[in-house]
A and B are shown apart, each in its own frame.
Chain A
């Protein structure tokens, strides 16, 4: 195939269109006859020992994204499982090395599209810690409220999908309907629904609208009944309980050694919660419990999420009651943009604006400074490692996505079970392909 540059395009004749077509036709025929086995016995006996190798994804209705698992089956039982990741690799981390600190916020919400706000906040908190600035109290409280709303949306969707994957389709749609309430609030606050890009380094994009408290309070009234409804549909149902009890059991030891965090880690008895252990945004001021389960099976993951929803509702109630007034953006204009009005009228502000926007003058942490900062996303600990080389863009931006670590244990859990168990486990793990592959 390699051609030396001097005779390229000269001595090798360009094949005619008809020849090309013939080649293609032949190749296609070979391809088709080559890859498709021609008898049923050859698809059931992949390894010569009567075992069948089945692809579970990357395109499969139960994987909710481009995850791929490879199961070696003996009948319906999985004797060996393996996962392959990277089907949704998007280079988010590499993008971070080429975008300014402020710009990467928009990328962070593409990572976990089901809880975009939490990603925005997690990233902004990391950069703020790197710069050593603190956001105003109103901004912190609003971030907490929106994070918890987003967590509720994520958890309730996961629980609904857990029902759907086991066949209870209606539960998913009921959950979806109530999730819309959260999305209404998100839409009112930042204009977008899914890819929010709501936070800025040092604050949020703008203050919330006046009717924001009404929206949140009506949400607090309307949402809780769905918890009872879902419990009524699933918890009282022997079929559901039998499907998820003692399925995919994670021991505390496994959870610790595989780095499981979030609801999955807590449901197996690992008592970690970044909100409590390493408070950020004033989480220490709110009174909330961290629920724990001990069994570690799919059922306890379901219970864990439902209990966490209640705690999140509690946090929102407290935060709404004590929501301070004031600015929502850090007032140091070395890092945050001044108001547009001021830019039009005021020389100082114009200069700040110009310097922040132009490359080479914006947010530039000290050379060699680096840190790891983490927040509690709905799936688990969402960490960012940022290393600065003193320029406008980070030298390295590394994300610790909870889904990657959670998914690592998945093949060990499904081995020995049946295909149906794999579905029950995967749906309770709530793996987001976007953040898994970054």
Chain B
């Protein structure tokens, strides 16, 4: 995509990609909210939003308008600047992290050599947003929520990072497009080339840690409404609250996209050849493949949220430190061992 000749065109294409992809992600958030609400209603034998627009499709828009017109309250005694910084620090990293995800064949906002590392670095910034929001609100519930959020995200980031490292070790690259290309092999048996089958342990750890990183049930301890009212966002109203809210959903999309890229073959499918010089049709197809995989994962996220109860705080930390981190270290050791023994993958392929 970036070999169009003149440097001016390069810049133009880079800006175009950035605008289009960011705008698309922003549009996906309301759609995802609607999707989640309809799905939750389906799980719970309800109807869900169906009044605003055709089959309720405009409901998220109405919600955004409502939130925009809400009074923007700042409680007494808050640390004003940190209080305002909180939502931005949740929202910005989540969307920045999306820049390196290839949404289609070699199609991403910014192509770094260190894609994965950039993503993990930026993604971990959002913990500051939650901690700042909880700390600055001058509210006991918020404070506890912020504390829970920071401890939880820091602990699970270790497991998340270790499971990603196992993939990077076998792939021997940090470029996400190369990782996707390595997961491709022709024919139905090519499915086994996906990292979810090659590194099942890492995939499982990554999936659970991603739930914890995005503060979704069963790990939504930072805002669990039954204990802490609203957790870190108890005192936030209007658009500040909306930024927290959207940040959560963008983070969910980013984590699912990363999962798709790292473990589910990204924009490729074993039955579709990867051409060396892709045309517009090929790119469109790859975007479609990526999106459908993403939707399946998001469905899984929502399904789990409306099914499982949440952990207690000490149980959560116990599982994080006593189960997931040792497991991911074990996985790392196994991967290293298999690399020394000369196996290309953790599970040798049948051919």
Question: Do A and B form a real pair?
Answer: yes
Select B44's contact among A40, A169, A242, beta carbons within 8 Å: A169
Contacts of A242 in B (CB 8 A): 311-312, 315
- Measured in the bound complex, the distance between the Cα atoms of B224 and A421 in whole Å is 13
Q: Is the CB of B45 within 8 A of A237?
A: no
Min CB gap B272→A, angstroms: 37
* Size of interface on B: residues with Cβ below 8 Å to A: 37
Task: How many A-B residue pairs have C-beta atoms within 8 angstroms? Tell me.
Answer: 98
Q: Judge whether A423 is part of the interface by a CB distance below 8 angstroms.
A: yes
Q: Is the CB of A237 within 8 A of B309?
A: yes
Contacts of A44 in B (CB 8 A): 140, 143
Q: Judge whether B218 is part of the interface by a CB distance below 8 angstroms.
A: yes
Q: Is the CB of B44 within 8 A of A237?
A: no
Write the chain A residue with the least CB distance to B75.
A36
Write the chain A residue with the least CB distance to B221.
A420
B 133-144 to A, binary, CB cutoff 8 A, 1 in contact else 0: 001101111011
Q: Judge whether B292 is part of the interface by a CB distance below 8 angstroms.
A: no
A 2-46 to B, binary, CB cutoff 8 A, 1 in contact else 0: 000000000000000000000000000000110011111001100
Min CB gap B147→A, angstroms: 8
Q: Judge whether B306 is part of the interface by a CB distance below 8 angstroms.
A: yes
B 76-115 to A, binary, CB cutoff 8 A, 1 in contact else 0: 1101000000000000000000000000000000000000
- Measured in the bound complex, the distance between the Cα atoms of B222 and A420 in whole Å is 12
- Measured in the bound complex, the distance between the Cα atoms of B311 and A240 in whole Å is 8
B 166-209 to A, binary, CB cutoff 8 A, 1 in contact else 0: 00000000000000000000000000000000000000000000
Q: Judge whether B308 is part of the interface by a CB distance below 8 angstroms.
A: yes
Min CB gap B231→A, angstroms: 11
B 225-239 to A, binary, CB cutoff 8 A, 1 in contact else 0: 111110000000000
Q: Is the CB of B227 within 8 A of A36?
A: no
Instruction: Say whether, besides A164-B226, A174-B45, A169 and B77 are in contact (CB < 8 Å).
Output: no
Min CB gap A155→B, angstroms: 19
Instruction: Say whether, besides A61-B226, A61-B229, A174-B45, A38 and B310 are in contact (CB < 8 Å).
Output: no
Min CB gap A416→B, angstroms: 13
- Measured in the bound complex, the distance between the Cα atoms of B228 and A420 in whole Å is 9
Query: Among B77, B141, B218, which residue has the most Cβ atoms of chain A within 10 A?
Result: B77
Q: List 18 A-B contacts (CB under 8 A).
A: A38-B76, A39-B138, A40-B79, A43-B143, A61-B226, A61-B229, A76-B313, A76-B314, A166-B310, A168-B308, A170-B44, A170-B307, A174-B44, A237-B309, A239-B218, A239-B310, A243-B311, A422-B227
